[in-house]
């Protein structure tokens, strides 16, 4: 049996205590090990992706216990893609945190960072519902530490809210799992799928309760309206590079919805048929609408980006809630896009915040305005879904997939109008931040700095502003560009992923060791 599958969990799990216990007083060593670990993770993830791309489903039985009795890790196309996505994001965020010095503003940044990665990757790999809960807790407890990294009054208050909200979510998760176990007698996802399909119709009332409770839990994680209240305050007050890493956490919720409601409560299961799609679609449309209105109304750049992230989750969940292969393929494409785009926007927000504070008002111009404005412009195009970047393709795919739905006009209207509102909101924020600043300075100071030419700005700013944060931003931006340029191969992979998700027989056979 190949042990490669468990490496993405073991590597950060060993690295984090090592950083914590052996090199806790050596920031440089911590940085080196953390980046090296993330790069190694990316390598492993790419290898796993290459393996999963052949269509094989690989199972890793922990302790060699066969499936319904022991915990299994399962690698299929979807989980492999999510792992690669996580490690790419982690690399960019790590470089940014080092370059901007965020990791030195509190203690144990890199240890918490690695624990967070362990939880996220574990959640993507596990094939057991209770194990999913455990990995959720691992990623949450690390995120609590990261969220209040650096301290400060407002951040701690926001941290308390965030922790309380997520603790309630965890309790709800346990109630859901208890209900499912009471009905089916198993928590292995593959075994659950088999038992749920076999359950007689009169015993399914509790099962429906369990399914809806579970959906609520994942909806909290994915920040679906009306369960999104934790997100703006938390993300806007967290250190913004950490918020960029948290871009993957909402995707964990989306991934869990996609996994559980294709595998266990799939479209063919009669007892829960229509249950999820009927509830999720209106909620997703509302999420999208409120997210874009929030973008328009935000007075602070952190909240602006948080609402942009909510809006992109809305689009993603519209695609997921349609529950057909074409829409799911679009969702898989959009997951990748929206993770990169949201993270990029949070990093840019941090660049702005470090230079001139978070409020969206006209102030004196900041150093490197041209460069940051260009990045903001590119990021906004991606987030709002304008051509030529991948957000446009993603939204086009989602809308194309919605064409057969009964509510096609509603879906199209909400997506298009909210895109327009988002564009207006981002344009407003961008022009206040980057253009009005110059005007305001012009009024106050008769001799403002000359328009920064590329070379001059470089020479002047270079000793003050390190290049690494900008490199990290460009890494994410190049991810978006690659996603646009290689949209064809990417869509082939996404379609294959959707096909695999909607034909779970392979998954069940492999995990339960049935011979087909």
Partner 1 sequence: MEILVATAVGLLTSAGIYLILRQRTFPVILGISLISYAVNIFLFASGRLVVGLPPILRDEAVAYTDPLPQALALTAIVISFGMTALIVMIALSAYLSDNDDRIDMDDVSDLQDNDA
Q: Does 233 bind partner 1 (CB under 8 A)?
A: yes
Stretch that binds partner 1, among 21-29, 81-89, 353-361, 387-395 (CB under 8 A): 353-361
Q: Which is nearer to partner 1, 396 or 440 (CB)?
A: 440
Interacting span for partner 1 (CB under 8 A) from 25-33, 160-168, 422-430, 485-493: 160-168
CB nearer to partner 1: give 55 or 70: 70
Query: Cα separations (Å) of 396 from 209, 286, 319, 419, 431?
Result: 35, 19, 11, 12, 27
Using CB under 8 A as the binding criterion, the count of chain residues that bind partner 1 stands at 37
Nearer to partner 1, 182 or 427 (CB): 182
160 binds partner 1 (CB under 8 A): yes
CB of 359 to partner 1, least distance (A): 7
Cβ proximity to partner 1: between 358 and 469 the closer is: 358
Sole window of 25-33, 159-167, 252-260, 383-391 interacting with partner 1 (rule: CB under 8 A): 159-167
DSSP run (H or E) holding 72: strand 72-75
Binders of partner 1 among residues 449 to 488 (CB under 8 A) are: none
Residue 23: both structure tokens together: 């090199």
Shortest reach from residue 256's CB to partner 1, in Å:
18
Q: Is 267 exposed, middle or buried (0-12, 13-18, 19+ CB in 10 A)?
A: middle
Binding of partner 1 by 152 (CB under 8 A): yes
Contact letters for partner 1, residues 263-302 (x by CB under 8 A): ------------------------------------xx--
| Gap between the Cα atoms of 94 and 310, Å rounded | 23
Please say which residue, 152 or 282, places its beta carbon nearer to partner 1: 152
Residue 429 binds partner 1 (CB under 8 A): no
Estimate to the nearest angstrom the gap between the alpha carbon of 323 and the chain centroid.
Answer: 20
Give buried/exposed letters for 418-450 (b at 16+ CB in 10 A, else e): bbebbbebbebbbebbbeebeebeeeeeeeeee
Q: How far apart are CA 407 and CA 318, in angstroms?
A: 11
How far is residue 142 from each of residues 29, 115, 162, 239, 497, measured CA to CA in Å?
Answer: 21, 6, 13, 14, 30
Q: Is residue 151 near partner 1 by the rule CB under 8 A?
A: yes
Question: Should residue 158 be labelled a site residue for partner 1 when binding is judged by CB under 8 A?
Answer: yes
With respect to partner 1, which residue has the nearer C-beta, 291 or 302?
302
Touching partner 1, residues 69-88 (CB under 8 A): none
C-alpha torsion angle, residues 236, 386, 490, 35 (rounded to 10) = -30
* The two structure tokens encoding residue 294: 């929030």
Residue 42 exposed, middle or buried by CB count within 10 Å (0-12, 13-18, 19+): middle
Applying the rule CB under 8 A, the residues between 358 and 397 that interact with partner 1 are: 358-359
Q: Which stretch binds partner 1 (CB under 8 A): 161-169, 412-420, 461-469, 496-504?
A: 161-169
Should residue 157 be labelled a site residue for partner 1 when binding is judged by CB under 8 A?
yes
Gap between the Cα atoms of 179 and 294, Å rounded:
36
Does residue number 503 form part of the binding site for partner 1 (CB under 8 A)? no
Tokens for 229?
């209240």
Comparing CB distances to partner 1, the nearer of 77 and 149 is: 149
Instruction: Name the residue nearer to partner 1 (CB basis): 17 or 388.
Output: 17
- Pairing mode, strands 58-61 and 72-75: antiparallel
Minimum distance between the CB of residue 133 and partner 1, rounded to whole angstroms? 8
SS3 string of 392-441?
HHHHHHHHHHHHHCCCHHHHHHHHHHHHHHHHHHHHHHHHHHHHHHHHHH
Q: Torsion angle, CA of 389/390/392/395, rounded to 10 degrees? A: -170
In the region spanning residues 163 to 202, those forming contacts with partner 1, defined by CB under 8 A, are 163-164, 167-168, 170-171, 174-175, 177-179, 181-182, 185, 187
Give the residue, chosen from 11, 98, 148, 329, that forms a contact with partner 1 under the rule CB under 8 A. 148
Tell me which DSSP letter residue 450 carries: P
CA-angle at 185, arms to 184 and 191, nearest 5°: 70
Which residue is associated with the tokens 């992706």?
49
Nearest-approach distance from CB 260 to partner 1, in angstroms: 18
Binding residue for partner 1, selected from 43, 65, 70, 154, defined by CB under 8 A: 154
By the 8 A CB rule, do 305 and 345 touch? yes
> Pick from 159, 325, 469, 479: which binds partner 1 (CB under 8 A)?
159
**What is the smallest separation between the CB atom of 471 and partner 1, expressed in angstroms?**
30
Tell the smallest beta-carbon distance from residue 97 to partner 1 (Å).
Answer: 21
Report the interface residues with partner 1, using CB under 8 A.
130, 134, 137, 141, 144, 148, 151-154, 156-161, 163-164, 167-168, 170-171, 174-175, 177-179, 181-182, 185, 187, 233, 299-300, 357-359
């Amino acid at each position: 049996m190949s042990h490669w599958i468990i490496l993405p969990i073991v590597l950060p799990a060993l690295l984090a205590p090592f950083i914590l216990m052996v090199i806790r007083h050596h920031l440089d060593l911590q940085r080196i090990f953390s980046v090296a670990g993330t790069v190694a993770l990316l390598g492993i993830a790419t290898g796993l992706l290459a393996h999963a791309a052949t269509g094989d489903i690989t199972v890793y039985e922990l302790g060699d216990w066969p499936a319904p009795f022991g915990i299994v890790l399962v690698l299929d196309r979807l989980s492999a893609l999510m792992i690669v996505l996580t490690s790419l994001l982690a690399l960019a965020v790590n470089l940014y945190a080092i370059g901007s010095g965020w990791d030195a503003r509190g203690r144990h940044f890199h240890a918490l960072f690695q624990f967070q990665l362990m939880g996220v990757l574990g959640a993507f790999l596990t094939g057991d519902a209770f194990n999913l809960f455990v990995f959720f807790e691992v990623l949450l407890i690390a995120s609590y530490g990261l969220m209040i990294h650096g301290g400060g009054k407002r951040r701690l208050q926001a941290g308390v809210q965030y922790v309380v909200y997520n603790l309630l979510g965890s309790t709800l998760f346990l109630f859901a799992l208890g209900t499912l176990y009471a009905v089916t007698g198993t928590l292995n996802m593959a075994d659950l799928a088999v038992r749920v399909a076999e359950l007689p119709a009169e015993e399914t009332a509790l099962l429906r309760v369990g399914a809806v409770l579970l959906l609520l839990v994942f909806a909290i994680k994915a920040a679906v309206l009306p369960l999104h209240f934790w997100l703006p305050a938390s993300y806007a007050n967290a250190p913004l590079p950490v918020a960029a890493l948290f871009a993957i956490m909402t995707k964990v919720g989306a991934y869990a919805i996609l996994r559980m409601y294709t595998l266990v409560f799939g479209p063919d299961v009669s007892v829960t048929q229509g249950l999820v799609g009927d509830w999720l679609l209106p909620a997703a449309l509302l999420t999208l609408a409120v997210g874009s209105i929030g973008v328009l109304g935000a007075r602070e750049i952190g909240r602006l980006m948080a609402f942009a992230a909510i809006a992109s989750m809305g689009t993603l969940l519209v695609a997921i809630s349609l529950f057909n292969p074409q829409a799911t393929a679009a969702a898989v494409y959009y997951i990748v896009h929206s993770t990169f785009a949201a993270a990029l926007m949070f990093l840019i927000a941090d660049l702005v915040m470090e230079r001139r504070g978070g409020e969206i008002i006209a102030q004196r111009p900041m150093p490197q305005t041209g460069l940051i404005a260009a990045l903001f412009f590119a990021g906004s195009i991606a987030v709002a879904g304008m051509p030529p970047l991948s957000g446009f393709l993603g939204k086009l795919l989602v809308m194309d997939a919605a064409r057969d739905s009964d509510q096609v006009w509603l879906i199209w209207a909400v997506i298009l109008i909210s895109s327009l509102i988002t564009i207006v909101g981002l344009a407003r924020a961008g022009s206040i931040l980057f253009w009005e600043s110059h005007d305001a300075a012009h009024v106050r100071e008769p001799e403002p700095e000359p328009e920064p030419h590329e070379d001059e700005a470089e020479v002047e700013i270079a000793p003050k502003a390190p290049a690494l944060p900008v490199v990290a931003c460009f890494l994410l931006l190049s991810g978006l560009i690659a996603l646009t340029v290689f949209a064809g191969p990417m869509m082939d992979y996404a379609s294959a992923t959707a096909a695999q998700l909607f034909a779970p027989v392979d998954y069940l056979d492999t995990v339960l060791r049935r011979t087909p």
